[in-house]
Amino acid sequence: MKLLLLLSLVAMAQCLALRVPLRRGKSLRQSLQEHGLLQHYLKQHPYNPATKYFATSASAEPLQNYMDNEYFGTISIGSPAQEFTVIFDTGSSNLWVPSVYCSSPACTNHNRFNPADSSTFIGTNDSVEIAYGTGSMTGILGYDTVTVADIEVLNQIFGLAETEPGDFFYYVPFDGILGLAFPSIASSGATPVFDNMMKEGLVAQDLFSVYLSKNGQSGSFVLFGAIDSSYTTNGISWIPLSAETYWQITMDSVSIGGQVVACSAGCQAIVDTGTSLLAMPNSALNNLLNAFGASSNGQVRPQGSTQDLPISCEAVSSLPDVVFYLNGQGFPVPPSAYVLQSNGYCSLAFQGMNIPTESGELWILGDVFIREYYVIFNRANNMVGLSPLP
């Protein structure tokens, strides 16, 4: 009986993949889970099916997990479509891709947009310049049709990179960046893609949600216009934004072993899918390292810069959770999340930085944090929703 049910559910999945109309009902994931077949199905089909079955209610963009370090998906620009891989970045607001006008080494080994090949492209004389923590670009702005997760956005403004200095973008596995933060921080006043989706009524709700897989597994996605209830079985905690710039929230404190070790008077944090690590002020990083040293009998041995924090792999099992208190509630990040392991080498996924803001010290809750939660970015109510993942 279970085998027949599994086969029928798989057949339903194949129909959905071929876009055959079906009666609306429970998702494949929900049905498999209810009948105790989900784990069996995932073992037989390593690609997590969650990203394939939103077509009847919302639009999901599957993301490729690149070594738990970067997550990127494929979009298209122009008519006919020219495809690009982009980071879906909640820490910035502009869309840009390399262009044929760019001669930087970083452009030559990535896909480049050619406006002459698009019948819907509209050029401008406006320039754009964007600096990130690890790279930068300069270029010009243009308008064209942009397709994201089967959502077609007409006359979307975007950047055509003319220079990408340095070597960071040369080595990355993606072409460009699609910013999902607020218009207030968009360079050159460009309207973000999601703002145009909302304005044109292309999403059912003014929100998007993100799931980032762990351990190099597939199944990551950005879901536009909806919340997948199969990822919120542990409930959703809503945290109001403190600024409509980045997805910025107020953090009450950071604790280890029940003791506050940082952000004791409150601080600001941004939830940023475009940052791999947990970034914090240098003083807070020192406090965390001291707390780890006390709790692991000196086995934590930071050396070098604040971006190189090696740790004895044997110490991992004895390390405590780092608990981030947001809106009065604790959100733990276990050592399995904040210790990075590769080829027998272990390091802490923390980075020291000092970014001054009007509200004081700033933290960045990057992918290390986000992987522990299904995150909902709600523009309708200007809140971030967090649901603990199993």
Spell out the residues 6+ positions from residue 149 whose beta carbon is closer than 8 angstroms to its own. Answer: 59, 60, 61, 73, 222, 224
Other beta carbons within 10 angstroms of residue 42's beta carbon come to: 17
Catalytic residue among 175, 228, 272, 367: 272
Which residue, among 209, 207, 77, has the nearest Cα to 153 in the 3D structure? 77
Helix (H, G, I), strand (E, B) or coil at 365: strand
In contact, 347 and 309? CB cutoff 8 Å:
yes
* H helices present in 20-155, as ranges: 28-34, 38-44, 105-108
Residue 89 annotated in active site: yes
Q: How many helices (H) and strands (E) does the chain have?
A: 9, 23
Angle at 80 between CA 77 and CA 82, to 5 degrees: 40
In contact, 70 and 175? CB cutoff 8 Å:
no
Spell out the residues 6+ positions from residue 226 whose beta carbon is closer than 8 angstroms to its own. Answer: 54, 57, 58, 203, 204, 205, 207, 209
CA distance readout (Å), 281 to 288, 331, 363: 11, 19, 7
Catalytic residue among 68, 89, 195, 252: 89
Q: What is the DSSP string of 203-254?
A: SSSSEEEEE--STT-S-EEEEET---GGG-TT--EEEEEEEETTEEEEEEEE
> Residues with catalytic annotation?
89, 272
